[in-house]
Amino acid sequence: MTATPATVIQIAESVVAEINTGDFSKTNLSAQRLYVPNFDLEDMKELRVTVVPREVEYLPLDRGSNKYHATIDVAVQKKFSKGDAKEIDPLVFFVEELADYFRLKRLNSFVAARCVKVENSVLYSSEHWTQFNQFTSLLTLTFELAK
Amino acid sequence: MLHRGQSWLAAKLTKHASRDVVYQRDEVSVELSATIGKSEYEQDDGEGVITRAQVRDFLINTKDLLQSDIGTWPRRGDRILETDGDTTFVYELMSIGNEPPWRYSDPFRVKLRIHTKLVDTIT
């Protein structure tokens, strides 16, 4: 018998499924869930979307349940050649599309969870830009449910 | 005298410890002799998203590059192709830590030390 995965993992898996089946400007996406995104620069020629369960918070809701917050990071990465607007603007747009998609979204395969906060605190990592000629943007989604 | 000594040493290095590489900028490619200056592995875990890369320094005679069709100093984004048997390793000029993508390798500017990272392998 396979045990039911932890709530945060179920949420992360649902996020992966929605990204891969969603209607975005970038097509044929193959987002994957990882605990630690860990790639070689050589592997970054294609757009990579990685979903990482980051944090869980329990806040008291009532005597018997908690307000459960699951924080999920979505990393969008691609090695660029010139790093000009023509190359980067579509990537920034794609990240915004993801942000808009998840805003207040109830996950299709985990309807108890609703996205209550979307942050794009790292619009692009200047470190990865200068050190690897790589676009890395980090979207942080917070899902809430009663548990 | 030191300058002459450095030039002599650079010539020996080019003659005995270098290999031919292709230096590429956009559509322009030239073949140059390069000595491998450093080869190591770098990891960056900025924002919790880890990227690793094979780092390689190439030492190239300043004159060779400037007198080639490339004709200017190295630029970020230029590529160096190194072929080993049936495999071609594609390296791209990038910063290493706080250093720019290239610097002079010696006080007399005889050789350039060019920092690159592996971005592709063609077999």
At residue B48, the pLDDT reads: 79
- What Å distances lie between residue A139 and A74, A97, A142, B51, B115, CA to CA? 5, 11, 10, 17, 31
Interface test with A, best of B51, B78, B118 (most A CBs within 10 A): B51
Closest CA to B81 of B119, B37, B43: B119
CA distance A31 to A75: 9
Tell me if A124 sits within 8 A of A31, measured CB to CB.
Answer: no
Tokens of A36: 């630690």
| B77 lies within 8 A of chain A by CB | yes
Under the banding of pLDDT at 50, 70 and 90, the label for residue A22 is: very high
Domain membership of residue B114 as a residue range: 2-122
Average pLDDT over residues A96-106: 96
Q: Do B46 and A128 touch (CB under 8 A)?
A: yes
d(CA B95, CA A98): 31
Tally of structural domains, chain B:
1
Name chain B contacts of A138, Cβ cutoff 8 Å.
47, 49
Q: Does the CB of A140 have a partner CB in chain B at under 8 Å?
A: no
Compute the distance between CA of residue A8 and CA of residue A144 in angstroms, rounded to an integer: 10
How many C-alpha atoms does B23 have within 13 Å on its Cβ side? 28
Cβ of residue A74 closer than 8 Å to a chain B Cβ: no
Mean pLDDT, chain B, rounded, equals 87
Query: Is A99 a residue whose pLDDT tops 70?
Result: yes
Q: Which of residues 36-65 of B touch A (CB under 8 A)?
A: 42, 44, 46-54
Contact A128 B53 (CB under 8 A): no
The complex scores an ipTM of: 0.78
- Flag whether pLDDT at A1 surpasses 70: no
Q: Which residues of B touch A82 (CB under 8 A)?
A: 77
pLDDT tens digits, A109-138: 999 999 999 999 899 998 899 889 999 999
Residue B6 has pLDDT above 70, yes or no: no
Q: What is the pLDDT of residue B99?
A: 84
Residues B50, A82: C-beta atoms closer than 8 Å: no
Pull the structure tokens for residue B22.
């292709």
Chain B residues with beta carbon closer than 8 angstroms to that of A127: 44, 46-47
